[in-house]
Amino acid sequence: MNTDAPITDPDLDPTAQLGAGEDRSFLGRIGIPSVLGWGFVGLLLFMIGDGVETGFLSPYLHDHGLSEHAVAGIFTAYGIFVGIAGWLSGALSDVMGPRKVIMLGLSIWLVMEVLFLTVGVSSMSVPILLLTYGVRGLGYPLFAFGFLVWITVAAPRKRMASAMGWFWFAFTGGLPTLGSLLASFTIPRIGFMYTLWLSAGLVLLGGLVLLIGVKEPRGRVRLVAAKENPVRALFYSISIAWKRPKVGIAAIVRAINTAPEFGFFIFLPIFFTQTIGFSMVVWLRLLSAIFLSNIIWNLLFGLIGDKFGWRKTVAWCGGFGCTLSTLALYYLPKDHHSLPLAIAVGALYGCTLAGYVPLSALTPALAPDHKGAALAMLSLGAGAAQMVGPAIVYVLLRPIGVAGVMWVFAGLYLLSGIMALTLTTSQPQGEET
C-alpha cells in the first residue's frame, strides 16, 4: 500500500471516530496504543537528549562571560521559535501527516545543534547564539508535538487521557528528569562540551527508533480531507482560537502550565547554587528529583483525569495546586542544609505541574471535528511557554528580584485554574460535574 496516498478506507479515516477500537494488548490495557509503542521509546530518548542541557546551560553561558540578562534574551529567542513550532506541529500534521512533521523536527534539531556547538558556543557571540540556539527551538516541538497529534489519531477515546499521561511521562521523563540526571554524571567525567555532543547522539537515536519502529498508517498521511485546501487548513489552526473560543482559552492555560517551569531553568540554577549554596551536581540531582515526581504523577493524573474529570483535574490539581507549590519552592528552602526540604517541595511542584495532563485530552474534545487544529493551538500554547517564561524573567528579574518573579508565576497559575473551570464541553468525558 502506498502510505503517502490519502486514506479512503473509512476504518482508517482519521476524520471518522478516531481511535474508537479496543486495544486488548498489554500496552493497550495500560493506556499506550500498541501501534505507537516504539514511538514512546523514541520520544523518551529524544527528550533525554534535548533535556541534558536544561539544568546547566544557563549557568554555563553565564560562567563564560554572558550576563544573566543576555542569557535570558537567548532563551527568550529560543522560546519564540519553540512557540512558532508548537503551532506548526499541529497545523502541519493536518496537511502533511505527523510522521513528516516528526522527520522535519529531527532534521532541524540536529543541524542547528551542530552549528550551535561548533560556531555558537566556541565563539560565545550573542548574535550567533541567538541564531543557532534560537532556530534549534523549532526542532523539538515539531518532533514531540507531531507525535502528540499521532496519538490523538491512534488512541481510543476512553483511554485518551491515559495515553496523554504516557506521552507526558516520556516527554518530562527526558526533559528535564533523566536528561539532568545524566548530565550530573557525565559533566564531572567528560565535561560540558562532550556532554552536549552526547545529547545530540541521543536525539538522533530517539528519532531513528520512532521513525523506524512505528508503522501505524494514519500518521503517514494528511489528517484533513484531501480536497481541503492546505493554506485554508493552516489558517483554520489559528482562526479556531476565535471560532471556538474555549480552544483559545485552553491554549492560554497550556502556556501558563509550563511558562514558570522554563523561567525557573534560567534563574533557579543560579539562585540555588549561589544564594542557597548547593553545588551544581546537587542542583542537577534536585532538578531530577523534582521531575521524577512529575513523570510519576503524569501517569497518575492521566488515570485520575479519566475518572475524576479532565476539567476539574486541570483546574484544582494543576492551576490551584501550582499556585501553592510555586511559593513553597521559593520560601521553604533556606540554605544548603535544606536539601531534604527542597526535594519535598520540589516533588510537590512536580506533582501539581502534572495536574495539567488531561488538558491534552480535553482540548481536542472542544473541537472534535478539527482535532489537529485544536492541538495546533494547544501546542502553540506549549511552545509559547518557552517564550513567556524566559521573557518574564528577562523583564522582571532585575526590578523585582527572585521573590517578585515567583509571585508573578504563582499569580499566573491561579489565573489558569480559574480559566480551566470554563472549559466545559458537551462530550461525556469532557463535561465534568
- What is the DSSP code (8-state) at residue 274? I
d(CA 271, CA 22) in angstroms, rounded, equals 49
Query: What is the per-residue pLDDT for 186?
Result: 94
Cell numbers for 318: 494543576
Q: How many CA atoms lie within 13 A of 80 on its CB side?
A: 12
User: Tell me: the pLDDT tens digits for 94-135?
Assistant: 788 899 999 999 999 999 999 999 999 989 999 999 999 999
- What is the DSSP code (8-state) at residue 251? H
Residue 279 has φ and ψ, to the nearest 5°, of -75, 165
Question: Is residue 233 very low, low, confident or very high in pLDDT (cuts 50, 70, 90)?
Answer: low
pLDDT at 7 exceeding the cut of 50: no
Query: What is the per-residue pLDDT for 426?
Result: 65
Inter-residue contact 164 to 429 (CB < 8 Å): no
Maximum mean pLDDT: which of 24-38, 44-58, 404-418: 404-418
End-to-end CA distance of the chain: 46
Q: What is the mean pLDDT of residues 361-381?
A: 82
d(CA 93, CA 121) in angstroms, rounded, equals 33
The residue type at 51: G
Query: What is the per-residue pLDDT for 229?
Result: 64
The residue type at 244: R
Q: Which residue has the higher pLDDT, 79 or 260?
A: 260
Question: Is residue 243 very low, low, confident or very high in pLDDT (cuts 50, 70, 90)?
Answer: confident
User: How buried is residue 340: exposed, middle or buried, by Cβ count under 10 Å (0-12/13-18/19+)?
Assistant: exposed
- What is the DSSP code (8-state) at residue 430? T
Q: Which residue has the higher pLDDT, 229 or 217?
A: 217
pLDDT at 19 exceeding the cut of 50: no
> What percent of the chain stands above pLDDT 90?
46
d(CA 4, CA 17) in angstroms, rounded, equals 21
Inter-residue contact 334 to 277 (CB < 8 Å): no
Inter-residue contact 141 to 161 (CB < 8 Å): no
Q: Which residue has the higher pLDDT, 89 or 264?
A: 264
Query: What is the per-residue pLDDT for 12?
Result: 35
Q: What is the mean pLDDT of residues 161-180?
A: 85
Query: What is the per-residue pLDDT for 213?
Result: 95
d(CA 427, CA 433) in angstroms, rounded, equals 12
Closest alpha carbon to 223 in 379, 7, 380, 19:
7
Query: What is the per-residue pLDDT for 72?
Result: 84
Q: What is the mean pLDDT of residues 68-94?
A: 85
Q: Quote the distance between the C-alpha of residue 413 and its chain's center.
A: 17
Angle between helices 179-213 and 37-51 (to 10 degrees): 140
Query: What is the per-residue pLDDT for 154?
Result: 84
d(CA 95, CA 230) in angstroms, rounded, equals 6
pLDDT at 261 exceeding the cut of 50: yes
Question: Is residue 180 very low, low, confident or very high in pLDDT (cuts 50, 70, 90)?
Answer: confident
Question: Is residue 137 very low, low, confident or very high in pLDDT (cuts 50, 70, 90)?
Answer: very high
Considering Cα of 360, then 365, then 367, then 372, what sign does the dihedral take? Answer: positive
Inter-residue contact 129 to 120 (CB < 8 Å): yes
d(CA 104, CA 7) in angstroms, rounded, equals 22
User: Tell me: the pLDDT tens digits for 277-319?
Assistant: 898 888 888 888 888 898 899 889 988 888 888 999 999 999 9
User: Tell me: the pLDDT tens digits for 396-427?
Assistant: 999 999 999 999 999 999 999 999 999 987 65
Angle between helices 68-96 and 126-136 (to 10 degrees): 30
Query: What is the per-residue pLDDT for 228?
Result: 63
Question: Residue 141 CB: number of other CB atoms within 10 A?
Answer: 28
Inter-residue contact 260 to 396 (CB < 8 Å): no
Q: Which residue has the higher pLDDT, 262 or 404?
A: 404
pLDDT at 365 exceeding the cut of 80: yes
Q: Which residue has the higher pLDDT, 383 or 107?
A: 107
Query: What is the per-residue pLDDT for 140?
Result: 93
Tell me which of 16-30, 206-220, 369-383 is least confident.
16-30
